[in-house]
Amino acid sequence: MIKFQKAVSMRIYELCDKYNYTPNGLAERSNIPPSTLQNITSCRNINPSSYVIFQICITLKISIRDFFDSELFDPKNITYQ
């Protein structure tokens, strides 16, 4: 099982690969401070804001549902503690 913040980090990396972005490039295109995205992807931020996830989704032209539509977020694979 993985922690929620690790699942978010892994999903961001998956989406960066899929849409040919670097994490820094995604942050810049999403108008998110690169340090904020770095804190999320390094799991220093344990509760990434829904606004940041929303900005990422808008940049990638995906829905929030698409962001969380991953086995990473299956309740049997994830822990919130």
Q: Domain with 26 in it: what CATH number? A: 1.10.260.40
In a domain, 76, yes or no: no
Q: What is the pLDDT along the chain (81 residues), one digit of tens a residue?
A: 899 999 999 999 999 999 999 999 999 999 999 999 999 999 998 889 999 999 999 999 999 999 999 999 999 988 876
pLDDT given for residue 79 in this prediction: 85
pTM: 0.93
pLDDT for 46: 83
Residue type, 57: C
- Segments of 1-81 assigned E as strands: 2-3, 78-79
Pairing of strands 78-79, 2-3: parallel
Q: In this structure, is residue 23 part of a structural domain?
A: yes
> Distance between CA atoms of 37 and 23, rounded to whole angstroms?
7
Domain range spanning residue 31? 2-68
